[in-house]
Structure 1
Amino acid sequence: MHEMTQRGQLSAPAVLCPFTPRISPHADSVQRWSLHWATRHGLLDRPGARATFARARFANLMCRAHPDAGEPELRLATAWLISIFVLDDLLERALVRDPEPARAAVTEVVRLLRDRQPEPVFGTALGRPLAGALGEVWKRTEPRVSPQWRERFVGHVADYLAGTLWEAGNRAADRPPLLDEYRRMRHHSAATDMFFDLIEPMHGFELPTGLLDDPDFATARRTAGTIIGIFNDLISWPKEAAIGDHHNIVFSFQREHRLHLAEAVSAAVAEHDACVLEFQVARDRLETRWWSDPTCATGIGDLVHWIRGNVDWSMESGRYTPAEIPAPRSAGD
């Protein structure tokens, strides 16, 4: 059980999280590198952006999600995370009032990843700093992966982008999503599938087709993503309430079931904990059939690290403190 935790004004309700915390010994080094990398790409040009970035400690999330990965791999994962944060910010705030640039940005991202050689106009919707950052991380990732992995990953990126456009459309129309709709689309907008794919190049392997097709593996990935998304909703709802954002499972429970806020939080905690139990059952079943394969043990192990690491990073990061300026979301936010 992850007990009630407070860091300054930040608190999180007690949730089931029976996994051991871990973090890479490279965390501080990767954090320093990430600040230089984001600065070099022009991603921190807004006033106060560098200080906000440093407090967020994005590198710690990747170092908790992949505690056994090497430092070059952790740098790559962190660069992906930063790029997606900035892209998410662009889609959520800068383009929400005009859907055409948002759709153009999504088209550019998918074209970059699928076609590899973007047209000269690439970067018009994204802006050159973000286009350059995404181009670099993809160029560093491609030599590590097969065409099959690339197609799977790009599909998950496209799903994530579709989810963010759905959210942007709702915000533009001030439309609260229904609970089941929110659950379904949150799985995409959380971007967990694409970050779970990155577990493989982080460790220099690709998961066997039999494991990818295993229903228990699909359940483990789905529930891990849901766990991360719900936990982030549980600690981010005060900030979202302050800016009038309807996209939070707490608010969906509150509206649809006519609950008081405390009851809606409890309902979200119960759904989170049920997913943790479902994840554990799927993981235990996989152990009986796949644990002799070291790629499976590592792949499932990093799902566990993602679940626990997201909790610990959320509490140590400046991302969710009420005084923090609203920022783009993480893999599970």
Structure 2
Amino acid sequence: MPAFPHSTSPTTIAVAVPPALCLPVIETAFPRRLHPYWPRLQEKTRSWLLEKRLMPADKVEEHADGLRYTDLMAGYYLGAPDEALQAIADYSAWFFVWDDRHDRDIVHHRPGAWRKLRLQLHAALDAPGHHLHHSDPLVAGFADSVGRLYAFLGERWNARFARHFHAVIEAYDREFRNRTRGTVPTVEAYLELRRLTFAHWIWTDLLELGAGYELPDAVRKHPAYRRAALLSQEFAAWYNDLCSLPKEIAGDEVHNLGISLVHHEGLTLEEAIGDMRRRIEECISGFLAAEKQALRFADSLAVVSVEGKELSDAVKAIVANMRNWFSAVYWFHHESGRYRVDSWDDRSTPPYVDNEAAGEK
């Protein structure tokens, strides 16, 4: 069935979901919505990618809209002010470009270039204003997007975001080393690392930015809130692994839940896909239960005070967006050109990347 019963743009078409990737519960129980700012979001993020030289002009022209990065964010951060959503969407687009650079540095055996970039990103994260004119567009674009995110909620939220993203950078470094050495992590080690390479807590932090409300630690760390947040992100990470498995097998990847299951658990590829689907479906059912607990917890926060009611409303809005993540992620994987490996001239080289990106030659 189509993601939307009525077209929201001239480029929205009905998508046929392959049986192996079809999740009827998402299509029926998780209605998809888009932030009303989405058409403008797509246009402005495309312009930002060009302005910051994060993708060559021909790649932007041919692929940017078809990759649908802005659809993913516009389907997640519902209710966010337009300016906040734009900052999040540009940061998200940057993240995909960074992921592609990381992949190309591995493919082209550029450990020196990766090491240099890793250190520069750590520095830009701590002082984005000092790196806005960096010679590497990836560093300058990161500084720009992070600096804009830092403008919304204040120093404590900024410090938490920085702490969480420093850990993401280091996780990418561990993945770099695993891939260059051909090391397939065990299932347990992979799942732990995946929570960082998928940036679980970054996207969850940004839910607060979208809601315009910094949650106190007692709320963020409450089991009811944390379980709902974790399950929404686990679903997204594992469904991404399921959809990207053909692309990553073609590219001799070692970082995918399916690959770890085959390598360490002795499963056939078909059995591994079945195991991944089971885990994904358990995330969905687990979230539906956790969502109810999180909403009851939100109700309990609405004590007889203005502050309690505001906090309760913010938690409810955030939990609603955790739910939106399921449909946003699901449809993104079937609409985005990022996963259409069968249509590529070279199954190991995505057509939307600059295969000779800046780096050590």
1:114 and 2:126 equivalent? Answer: yes
Structure 2 CA distance for partners of 1:2 and 1:172, relative to 1, 3 Å: farther
Post-superposition offset of 1:10: 6.0
Deviation sequence 1:275-327 (CA, Å, 0-9, x none): 22222222211211213401100111111111221111111111111224526
Does residue 180 in structure 1 map to residue 188 in structure 2? yes
SS at the partner of 1:144?
A: coil
**Any conservation in 1 of the 2:239–2:280 contact (CA below 8 Å)?**
yes
1:27 aligns with 2:38: yes
- Correspondence 1:40 to 2:51: yes
Distance 1:261 1:208 in 2: 44
Instruction: Note the alpha carbon deviations across 1:99-130, whole angstroms, 9 max, x for none.
Output: 3432332222222222345379x84xxx5312
Could you tell me whether the CA contact under 8 Å between 1:41 and 1:132 is conserved in 2? yes
Paired with 2:211 and 2:268, the residues of 1 have a C-alpha distance of: 45
Alignment of 1:1-333 (within 5 A): 7=15, 12-15=20-23, 16-17=25-26, 18-45=29-56, 48-94=59-105, 97-118=109-130, 123=134, 127-291=135-299, 292=302, 293-322=312-341, 323-324=343-344, 325-326=349-350
105-114 vs 77-86, which moves further: 105-114
Q: Is the 8 A contact 1:12 1:235 kept in 2?
A: no
Instruction: Indicate the SS of the match to 2:213.
Output: coil
Return the alpha-carbon distance in structure 2 between the equivalents of residues 12 and 29 of structure 1: 34
**Matched residue, 1:331:** none
Stretches of structure 1 that go unaligned for 5 or more consecutive residues are: 329-333
**Contact 2:105–2:111 under 8 Å retained in 1:** no
More RCO (CA 8 Å, sep 6+):
1
Provide the aligned length of Structure 1 versus Structure 2: 322
For residues 316 and 12 of structure 1, do their structure 2 counterparts lie closer, same or farther at Cα, with a shift above 3 Å needed? farther
TM-score norm. by structure 1 comes to: 0.88
Q: Which of structures 1 and 2 has the bigger CA Rg?
A: 2
Shift of 1:257: 2.3
Could you tell me how far apart the structure 2 residues matched to 1:23 and 1:260 are?
38
Once the two structures are TM-superposed, the CA of residue 173 in structure 1 deviates from its matched residue by 0.9
Q: Distance in 2 between matches of 1:308 and 1:209?
A: 28
Distance 1:20 1:93 in 2: 36
When the two chains are superposed, the root-mean-square deviation of aligned CA atoms in Å is 2.6
Q: Which residue of 1 aligns with 2:309?
A: none
TM-score for both structures, normalised by structure 2: 0.82
